Amino acid sequence: MWRAARRLALVAAGLSRGRAAPGSALSSPVSPVRGCRRLCSGDFHPPLASVGLTGRLVWPGGGHRKISISTMPEINTDDLDEQQVQLLAEMCIVIDEDDNRIGADTKKNCHLNENIEKGLLHRAFSVFLFNSENKLLLQQRSDAKITFPDCFTNTCCSHPLSTPLELEEQNAVGVRRAAQRRMQAEMGIPLEQVTPEELFYLTRIHYKARSNGIWGEHEIDYILFVQKNVMLNPDPNEVKSYCYVTQEELKELLEKASRNEIKITPWFKLIAETFLFKWWDNLNHLKTFVDHAKIHRM
């Protein structure tokens, strides 16, 4: 009921769907970050996959002991967003601390702190997309997100799935295919505008962070860069606002986060404070910084 009422209120207010021109940033007076465009719930909704919460986990350690999902903790999701709850059925790639694939489990189980504290670790990626003006595309995660809602972060952050196309590991092609898929799902970037071959794989980071008492992240995160002007049509169920920023504008955003004026995701904070600006200064010379052998523990 409240969603329907919200849609009616937005319509009454005269809010309408919009599309950003390639490489542009649209301003919005209601966004907490200058230059970011705030989305409304009527902008765009991609189709949902209809899958059940089924699957089997190969648990790290203990001789790769198999544990049925029926033994996983039961969590009530009634108060969570319906579209985001459906996505909890996706099967993530379970890995050990050296990024060796050891099984699969649902997104739900991979993001429960109770499982994370037992060592459950999955594969992920973070995309950093720059336009021709060397500005970085940021998004603010929607309030509907189960982990780290309302947080500012890099262009796109998600997980490759345990499917044949996204399990392929040579040259991280499976991860790059997943990134292409999720850039379309989150930011509305047409598949043909950013291909897996255009996503430049730099390195990996391993981090763990709690979102709240129930949900968290524990990932080995592939860092992917691309510089290209693209069309944007974000899904408001995924993205609350978005904007392109200069280095100085990002530093201001990080300062605001340090004063608790806005929130940023923990992985974006780690990457920004450790690597991002030196990579940003060398967008035309990224091969110098490639390190596929090392996993940075953060």
Q: How many residues does the chain have?
A: 298
The residue from 219, 238, 243, 249 that is catalytic is 219
238 as an active site residue: the answer is no
Give dist(CA 296, CA 94) in Å, integer: 18
219 as an active site residue: the answer is yes
The residue from 110, 151, 157, 243 that is catalytic is 157
**Active-site amino acid positions:** 157, 219
